[in-house]
Structure 1
Amino acid sequence: MSENKLICIVDDDASVRDSLSLVLGLKGYDCRTYESAESFLSSLPNRPACIILDLKMTGMSGLELQNRLLSQKVPVQIIFLTAFADVQVMREAFLGNAVDFLEKPFVLEQLLESINRSLHNLSATTETIQHNQKLSLLTPREKEVFDVLALGKSHREIGELLKISPRTVEVHKGRVLEKLGIKTLADILRIAIKT
């Protein structure tokens, strides 16, 4: 099972949770169900997830859960389901980076498209998080060299800019490549663009 195929279904209606879990499980997704926002928060998944979230639940609402997850910087993508669509609420959900807002009853194909879009977004988010973790391993000087290499400067130009020799630039570049687990300047550019 792919690390990015986790689907969390948060809905206070057991029939919605069970039917979605069954259908999505048959499609190859790893599904976890939660009867409330509070139960989801008490057992947050340890990996990025797509959340299919009911808007109106007893206790904490779907929007309140979305705001809590945003403030905690939890890597999730949210698809809202509701029987009570309202433009103002939809606007608030999208301002909080919701992937989609589907009205019950919904068309399964539309939900699957939204899930695929959210999983694609999670892949990009996960890659950025991994790059940032690796970048945090660099010393301040190595980070400076990384930043200037990403601008396309030569070793000589970097040396002049940072007031170090081109040979020292080369040593720092070697450490940057090693710590980031990459091999080429193209890899440096790719990481710099994504972070």
Structure 2
Amino acid sequence: MTTELKTRILLADDHDIVRRGLRTLLELRSDWEICAEASDGRAAVQFAEDLAPDIVILDLSMPELNGLEAARRIAAHCPRSRMLMLTMHETEQFVREALAAGVRGYILKTDAGRDLANAVDALIRGETFFASRLAATIYAAEFAGMGRRRRSKSQAGLTPREREILQLLAEGRKNRDVGKALNISVKTAETHRARIMAKLGIDSVADLVRYAIRNGLIAP
């Protein structure tokens, strides 16, 4: 007797109650299983590298490492894993950023009850899936070649390490905390901080926090 292979899903969201709700929706399908849950982006990347799930569901705004940065790393290390972004942010900018990071599905948390299963099914088939209110715009711009990605010049100039440090600083971490989290010296963390602020034209922590919120790196 052969055992049916199930689609393995990694679920990442920093709110426990949201993860429980999503798990309930996903477990209605007997051919799917949750192989791991992560409460921050860094853990999501580690689980993806260790388990190579078929589907990765990511929240956009997570601590330690936001969903966009986590998606970039997962795409680089786990190219067979298909990623779905589940978020409250419905602006075209964030959808474009997600696509550039390797995400192939983008739905809103408010629509999860209606769209989640259909989105996962689409990704399993190798297709894309977007929230209905965004689909026409994204398909036209991304897949018909009728537009360019409108990423911030400043944000595009940050390295992956700088984006990671930017998020930690915006979350209120001090230079010594950043150094400890990333296993770098305090001096190196200070150098990165100065370079980030220079690239972004920012001269205060308050402006840095506003930038991070505006660009979906942390939740408001």
Considering the TM-score relative to the shorter chain, is it more than 0.5? Answer: yes
Contact 1:4 1:49 in 2 (8 A): no
Letter of the 1:30 counterpart: E
Q: Please tell me whether residue 60 in structure 1 is matched to residue 60 in structure 2.
A: no
Q: Distance in 2 between matches of 1:54 and 1:2?
A: 29
**2:8 aligned with 1:38:** no
| Residue deviations 1:96-131 (CA, integer Å, cap 9, x gap) | 332221122114231111100111229xxxxxxxxx
Match of 1:72 among 74, 77, 81: 77
- Match among 103, 122, 125 for residue 120 of structure 1: 125
Alpha-carbon separation, structure 2, partners of 1:64 and 1:113? 25
> In the alignment, residue 40 of structure 2 is paired with which amino acid?
S
2:27 aligned residue: 25
TM normalised by structure 2 equals: 0.50
Choose from 58, 74, 89 the match for 1:84.
89
**How many angstroms apart in 2 are the aligned matches of 1:34 and 1:98?**
18
Q: Pick the structure with greater CA Rg.
A: 1
Deviations 1:65-98 (CA, angstroms, capped at 9, x unpaired): 1111122244211111111222111112123332
What is the count of residue pairs matched by the alignment? Answer: 122
**CA root-mean-square deviation:** 2.1
Divergent runs of 4+, >6 A: none
The alignment partner of 1:84 has SS state of: coil
Alpha-carbon distance in structure 2 between the residues aligned to 1:121 and 1:106: 21
Change in Cα spacing, 1:4 to 1:77, as seen in structure 2 (3 Å) is farther
C-alpha contact (below 8 Å) 1:99/1:114 kept by paired residues: no
- Which amino acid in 2 is paired with 1:35? S
Q: 1:98 maps to what in 2?
A: 103
2-side partners of 1:24 and 1:48: how far apart?
15
In structure 2, stretches of 5+ residues that fail to align are 128-220
Aligned residues with identical type, % of pairs: 21
